[in-house]
Protein backbone atom coordinates (compact mmCIF):
# COMPACT_ATOMS: atom_id res chain seq x y z
CA UNK A 1 0.00 0.00 0.00
CA UNK A 2 2.83 2.39 0.92
CA UNK A 3 4.70 1.60 -2.35
CA UNK A 4 1.56 2.34 -4.40
CA UNK A 5 0.99 5.65 -2.59
CA UNK A 6 4.63 6.69 -3.05
CA UNK A 7 4.53 5.81 -6.77
CA UNK A 8 1.36 7.86 -7.22
CA UNK A 9 2.91 10.83 -5.45
CA UNK A 10 6.05 10.63 -7.64
CA UNK A 11 3.99 10.49 -10.87
CA UNK A 12 1.89 13.42 -9.68
CA UNK A 13 4.96 15.47 -8.73
CA UNK A 14 6.91 14.63 -11.95
CA UNK A 15 4.36 14.13 -14.71
CA UNK A 16 5.51 12.62 -18.03
CA UNK A 17 4.59 14.42 -21.20
CA UNK A 18 2.87 11.31 -22.63
CA UNK A 19 0.53 11.17 -19.61
CA UNK A 20 -0.62 14.71 -20.26
CA UNK A 21 -1.10 14.32 -24.01
CA UNK A 22 -4.63 14.61 -25.34
CA UNK A 23 -5.79 13.35 -28.73
CA UNK A 24 -7.74 14.85 -31.62
CA UNK A 25 -9.51 12.14 -33.61
CA UNK A 26 -10.49 13.01 -37.17
CA UNK A 27 -11.10 11.18 -40.43
CA UNK A 28 -9.51 11.73 -43.82
CA UNK A 29 -9.03 10.39 -47.32
CA UNK A 30 -5.95 9.07 -49.10
CA UNK A 31 -5.13 11.30 -52.07
CA UNK A 32 -2.34 11.46 -54.64
CA UNK A 33 0.25 14.20 -54.48
CA UNK A 34 0.82 13.90 -58.23
CA UNK A 35 -2.36 13.84 -60.28
CA UNK A 36 -2.11 14.74 -63.96
CA UNK A 37 -4.84 15.82 -66.35
CA UNK A 38 -3.97 14.72 -69.88
CA UNK A 39 -5.21 16.37 -73.06
CA UNK A 40 -4.05 17.15 -76.58
CA UNK A 41 -2.22 20.17 -77.97
CA UNK A 42 -4.07 20.13 -81.28
CA UNK A 43 -7.62 19.54 -82.39
CA UNK A 44 -8.29 16.26 -84.13
CA UNK A 45 -10.07 12.91 -84.15
CA UNK A 46 -9.00 9.97 -81.98
CA UNK A 47 -7.57 7.19 -84.12
CA UNK A 48 -6.54 4.67 -81.44
CA UNK A 49 -6.89 4.32 -77.65
CA UNK A 50 -4.39 2.05 -75.91
CA UNK A 51 -5.53 2.15 -72.24
CA UNK A 52 -8.66 1.73 -70.13
CA UNK A 53 -9.68 2.88 -66.65
CA UNK A 54 -7.67 1.02 -64.03
CA UNK A 55 -4.70 0.29 -66.28
CA UNK A 56 -1.23 0.86 -64.83
CA UNK A 57 1.12 2.70 -67.15
CA UNK A 58 4.76 3.66 -67.16
CA UNK A 59 6.34 6.88 -68.31
CA UNK A 60 6.35 7.22 -72.14
CA UNK A 61 3.73 4.46 -72.61
CA UNK A 62 1.28 5.23 -75.45
CA UNK A 63 -2.12 6.46 -74.21
CA UNK A 64 -3.93 7.40 -77.42
CA UNK A 65 -3.22 8.47 -80.98
CA UNK A 66 -4.94 11.10 -83.07
CA UNK A 67 -5.70 10.98 -86.79
CA UNK A 68 -2.75 12.45 -88.66
CA UNK A 69 -4.15 12.67 -92.22
CA UNK A 70 -4.08 16.48 -92.38
CA UNK A 71 -0.70 16.65 -90.68
CA UNK A 72 0.69 14.02 -93.06
CA UNK A 73 -0.28 16.29 -95.96
CA UNK A 74 1.40 19.26 -94.29
CA UNK A 75 4.50 17.18 -93.63
CA UNK A 76 4.62 16.00 -97.24
CA UNK A 77 4.24 19.57 -98.51
CA UNK A 78 6.99 20.82 -96.19
CA UNK A 79 9.36 18.03 -97.27
CA UNK A 80 8.57 18.70 -100.95
CA UNK A 81 9.28 22.42 -100.56
CA UNK A 82 12.57 21.60 -98.85
CA UNK A 83 13.53 19.19 -101.62
CA UNK A 84 12.75 21.73 -104.38
CA UNK A 85 14.74 24.44 -102.59
CA UNK A 86 17.73 22.11 -102.25
CA UNK A 87 17.58 21.20 -105.97
CA UNK A 88 17.50 24.87 -107.03
CA UNK A 89 20.37 25.59 -104.67
CA UNK A 90 22.45 22.89 -106.35
CA UNK A 91 21.53 24.32 -109.80
CA UNK A 92 22.70 27.83 -108.90
CA UNK A 93 25.83 26.48 -107.23
CA UNK A 94 26.72 24.51 -110.37
CA UNK A 95 26.00 27.52 -112.56
CA UNK A 96 28.22 29.74 -110.44
CA UNK A 97 31.03 27.17 -110.63
CA UNK A 98 30.66 27.06 -114.43
CA UNK A 99 30.88 30.85 -114.70
CA UNK A 100 34.05 30.87 -112.61
CA UNK A 101 35.59 28.23 -114.85
CA UNK A 102 34.70 30.27 -117.95
CA UNK A 103 36.29 33.37 -116.43
CA UNK A 104 39.45 31.42 -115.68
CA UNK A 105 39.50 30.06 -119.23
CA UNK A 106 38.97 33.55 -120.65
CA UNK A 107 41.86 34.91 -118.59
CA UNK A 108 44.18 32.36 -120.14
CA UNK A 109 43.11 33.43 -123.68
CA UNK A 110 43.37 37.23 -123.46
CA UNK A 111 45.12 37.44 -126.83
CA UNK A 112 42.36 35.62 -128.70
CA UNK A 113 40.16 37.29 -131.29
CA UNK A 114 37.31 37.57 -128.74
CA UNK A 115 36.54 40.87 -127.04
CA UNK A 116 38.05 40.03 -123.66
CA UNK A 117 36.78 43.07 -121.73
CA UNK A 118 33.16 42.71 -122.78
CA UNK A 119 33.02 38.97 -122.15
CA UNK A 120 34.75 39.32 -118.77
CA UNK A 121 32.30 42.03 -117.72
CA UNK A 122 29.31 39.94 -118.80
CA UNK A 123 30.60 36.93 -116.89
CA UNK A 124 31.18 39.07 -113.79
CA UNK A 125 27.62 40.40 -113.92
CA UNK A 126 26.21 36.89 -114.42
CA UNK A 127 28.37 35.57 -111.56
CA UNK A 128 27.16 38.32 -109.22
CA UNK A 129 23.52 37.63 -110.10
CA UNK A 130 23.96 33.88 -109.71
CA UNK A 131 25.72 34.36 -106.37
CA UNK A 132 22.80 36.48 -105.11
CA UNK A 133 20.32 33.81 -106.24
CA UNK A 134 22.38 31.11 -104.53
CA UNK A 135 22.38 33.10 -101.30
CA UNK A 136 18.60 33.56 -101.55
CA UNK A 137 18.06 29.84 -102.18
CA UNK A 138 20.18 28.95 -99.13
CA UNK A 139 17.88 31.13 -97.02
CA UNK A 140 14.84 29.39 -98.55
CA UNK A 141 16.38 25.98 -97.77
CA UNK A 142 16.93 27.02 -94.15
CA UNK A 143 13.34 28.25 -93.83
CA UNK A 144 11.91 25.10 -95.49
CA UNK A 145 14.04 22.91 -93.22
CA UNK A 146 12.71 24.71 -90.13
CA UNK A 147 9.15 24.31 -91.37
CA UNK A 148 9.68 20.58 -91.96
CA UNK A 149 11.00 20.22 -88.40
CA UNK A 150 7.98 22.06 -86.97
CA UNK A 151 5.55 19.83 -88.85
CA UNK A 152 7.50 16.76 -87.69
CA UNK A 153 7.22 17.92 -84.06
CA UNK A 154 3.48 18.51 -84.46
CA UNK A 155 3.09 14.98 -85.85
CA UNK A 156 4.92 13.70 -82.77
CA UNK A 157 2.42 15.47 -80.50
CA UNK A 158 -0.40 13.47 -82.10
CA UNK A 159 0.85 10.42 -80.20
CA UNK A 160 -0.02 11.12 -76.57
CA UNK A 161 2.22 9.36 -74.04
CA UNK A 162 2.12 8.97 -70.26
CA UNK A 163 4.05 11.76 -68.51
CA UNK A 164 4.82 9.55 -65.49
CA UNK A 165 4.13 6.19 -63.87
CA UNK A 166 0.64 5.76 -62.47
CA UNK A 167 -2.86 4.42 -62.95
CA UNK A 168 -5.61 5.70 -65.26
CA UNK A 169 -8.56 6.71 -63.07
CA UNK A 170 -10.61 8.62 -65.66
CA UNK A 171 -11.00 8.31 -69.44
CA UNK A 172 -13.39 10.47 -71.44
CA UNK A 173 -12.62 9.52 -75.03
CA UNK A 174 -13.20 6.77 -77.57
CA UNK A 175 -12.09 6.08 -81.12
CA UNK A 176 -13.66 8.64 -83.44
CA UNK A 177 -14.18 11.32 -80.78
CA UNK A 178 -12.93 14.81 -81.51
CA UNK A 179 -10.39 16.14 -79.01
CA UNK A 180 -10.18 19.87 -78.36
CA UNK A 181 -6.92 21.44 -77.16
CA UNK A 182 -6.99 22.49 -73.51
CA UNK A 183 -9.66 19.97 -72.44
CA UNK A 184 -8.44 16.99 -70.34
CA UNK A 185 -9.60 13.58 -71.58
CA UNK A 186 -7.69 11.38 -69.12
CA UNK A 187 -6.61 11.56 -65.48
CA UNK A 188 -3.42 9.82 -64.40
CA UNK A 189 -2.75 9.31 -60.70
CA UNK A 190 0.69 8.64 -59.28
CA UNK A 191 0.45 5.81 -56.74
CA UNK A 192 3.99 6.16 -55.38
CA UNK A 193 3.47 9.41 -53.46
CA UNK A 194 0.15 9.26 -51.55
CA UNK A 195 -0.93 11.68 -48.83
CA UNK A 196 -3.87 11.95 -46.48
CA UNK A 197 -6.21 14.91 -46.64
CA UNK A 198 -8.42 15.74 -43.67
CA UNK A 199 -10.50 18.53 -42.18
CA UNK A 200 -9.67 20.08 -38.81
CA UNK A 201 -12.09 22.17 -36.81
CA UNK A 202 -11.24 25.83 -36.45
CA UNK A 203 -11.28 25.45 -32.66
CA UNK A 204 -8.47 22.85 -32.89
CA UNK A 205 -6.04 24.96 -34.92
CA UNK A 206 -4.13 26.09 -31.81
CA UNK A 207 -3.54 22.44 -30.89
CA UNK A 208 -1.70 21.44 -34.05
CA UNK A 209 1.25 22.74 -36.03
CA UNK A 210 2.89 22.07 -39.34
CA UNK A 211 5.47 19.30 -38.87
CA UNK A 212 3.62 17.51 -36.06
CA UNK A 213 3.72 13.72 -36.16
CA UNK A 214 0.41 11.84 -36.29
CA UNK A 215 -0.79 8.26 -36.19
CA UNK A 216 -3.29 6.95 -38.71
CA UNK A 217 -5.01 3.76 -39.72
CA UNK A 218 -6.62 2.61 -42.97
CA UNK A 219 -9.26 0.19 -41.62
CA UNK A 220 -10.11 -1.47 -44.95
CA UNK A 221 -6.62 -2.99 -45.26
CA UNK A 222 -5.78 -2.94 -41.53
CA UNK A 223 -2.87 -0.63 -42.16
CA UNK A 224 -1.27 1.29 -39.30
CA UNK A 225 1.12 4.09 -40.08
CA UNK A 226 2.77 7.26 -38.91
CA UNK A 227 2.97 10.52 -40.82
CA UNK A 228 3.66 14.20 -40.49
CA UNK A 229 1.50 17.25 -41.12
CA UNK A 230 2.80 18.65 -44.39
CA UNK A 231 0.59 21.72 -44.64
CA UNK A 232 -2.37 23.52 -43.13
CA UNK A 233 -4.37 25.28 -45.81
CA UNK A 234 -5.18 28.80 -44.51
CA UNK A 235 -8.64 29.07 -46.00
CA UNK A 236 -11.54 28.14 -43.80
CA UNK A 237 -14.74 26.68 -45.14
CA UNK A 238 -17.30 29.39 -44.29
CA UNK A 239 -20.06 26.80 -43.88
CA UNK A 240 -18.31 24.25 -41.66
CA UNK A 241 -15.49 26.40 -40.21
CA UNK A 242 -12.90 23.73 -40.90
CA UNK A 243 -9.37 23.84 -42.32
CA UNK A 244 -7.74 21.33 -44.66
CA UNK A 245 -4.55 19.59 -43.58
CA UNK A 246 -2.26 17.36 -45.65
CA UNK A 247 -0.39 14.48 -44.00
CA UNK A 248 2.68 13.08 -45.69
CA UNK A 249 3.78 9.51 -45.07
CA UNK A 250 6.01 6.84 -46.56
CA UNK A 251 4.11 4.25 -48.57
CA UNK A 252 5.21 0.72 -47.70
CA UNK A 253 2.17 -1.22 -48.91
CA UNK A 254 1.01 -1.80 -52.49
CA UNK A 255 -2.60 -1.93 -51.28
CA UNK A 256 -2.84 1.80 -50.52
CA UNK A 257 -4.89 3.62 -53.16
CA UNK A 258 -6.26 7.16 -53.48
CA UNK A 259 -9.82 7.42 -52.17
CA UNK A 260 -9.33 5.14 -49.16
CA UNK A 261 -10.84 6.08 -45.80
CA UNK A 262 -8.40 6.85 -42.97
CA UNK A 263 -8.66 7.47 -39.23
CA UNK A 264 -6.19 9.96 -37.77
CA UNK A 265 -4.98 10.57 -34.22
CA UNK A 266 -3.20 13.82 -33.45
CA UNK A 267 -1.69 14.05 -29.97
CA UNK A 268 -1.12 17.42 -28.35
CA UNK A 269 0.10 18.68 -25.00
CA UNK A 270 -2.75 20.53 -23.20
CA UNK A 271 -0.25 22.68 -21.29
CA UNK A 272 1.22 23.95 -24.56
CA UNK A 273 -2.29 24.49 -25.88
CA UNK A 274 -3.18 26.58 -22.85
CA UNK A 275 -0.03 28.66 -23.34
CA UNK A 276 -0.89 29.21 -27.02
CA UNK A 277 -4.45 30.08 -26.08
CA UNK A 278 -3.27 32.57 -23.45
CA UNK A 279 -0.77 34.16 -25.85
CA UNK A 280 -3.43 34.52 -28.53
CA UNK A 281 -5.57 36.48 -26.08
pLDDT tens digits for range 14-65: 344 444 468 999 999 999 888 889 988 888 889 899 999 989 999 889 999 9
Q: Give residue 7's pLDDT.
A: 45
Is a pLDDT exceeding 70 seen at residue 175?
yes
Distance of CA 203 to CAs 199, 200, 241, 242, 269, Å?
A: 12, 8, 9, 9, 15
Q: Give residue 121's pLDDT.
A: 67
- Looking at per-residue pLDDT, the higher value among 271 and 184 belongs to 184
- Rounded to 10 degrees, the C-alpha dihedral 146/147/151/153 comes to 20
Q: Give residue 90's pLDDT.
A: 81
Average of per-residue pLDDT values in the chain: 79
Residues 145 and 151: beta-carbon distance below 8 Å:
no
Distance of CA 68 to CAs 42, 156, 165, 186, 237, Å?
A: 11, 10, 26, 20, 47
Q: Which residues of 243-263 are buried (b: 16+ CB within 10 A; e: fewer)?
A: bbbbbebeeeeeebbbebebb
Distance of CA 217 to CAs 189, 249, 266, Å?
A: 22, 12, 12
- Strand runs (DSSP E) across 115-174, as ranges? 159-161, 166-171
The Cα 225–Cα 260 span in angstroms is: 14
- Looking at per-residue pLDDT, the higher value among 221 and 147 belongs to 221
- Looking at per-residue pLDDT, the higher value among 125 and 250 belongs to 250
Residues 96 and 138: beta-carbon distance below 8 Å:
no
Q: Is 100 helix (H, G, I), strand (E, B) or coil?
A: helix
Average the pLDDT over each of 110-119, 124-133, 191-200 and give the range with the smallest value. 110-119
Is a pLDDT exceeding 90 seen at residue 195?
yes
Amino acid sequence: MKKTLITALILFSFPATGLLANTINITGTVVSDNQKYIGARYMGYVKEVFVNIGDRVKREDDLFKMDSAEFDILKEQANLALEQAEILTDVYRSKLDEIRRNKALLSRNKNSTFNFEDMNENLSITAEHTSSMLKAMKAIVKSASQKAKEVSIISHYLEIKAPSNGIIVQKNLHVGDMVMPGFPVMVLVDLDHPEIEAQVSESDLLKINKGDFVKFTIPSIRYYGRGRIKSIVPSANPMTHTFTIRIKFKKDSEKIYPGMYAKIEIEYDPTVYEQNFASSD
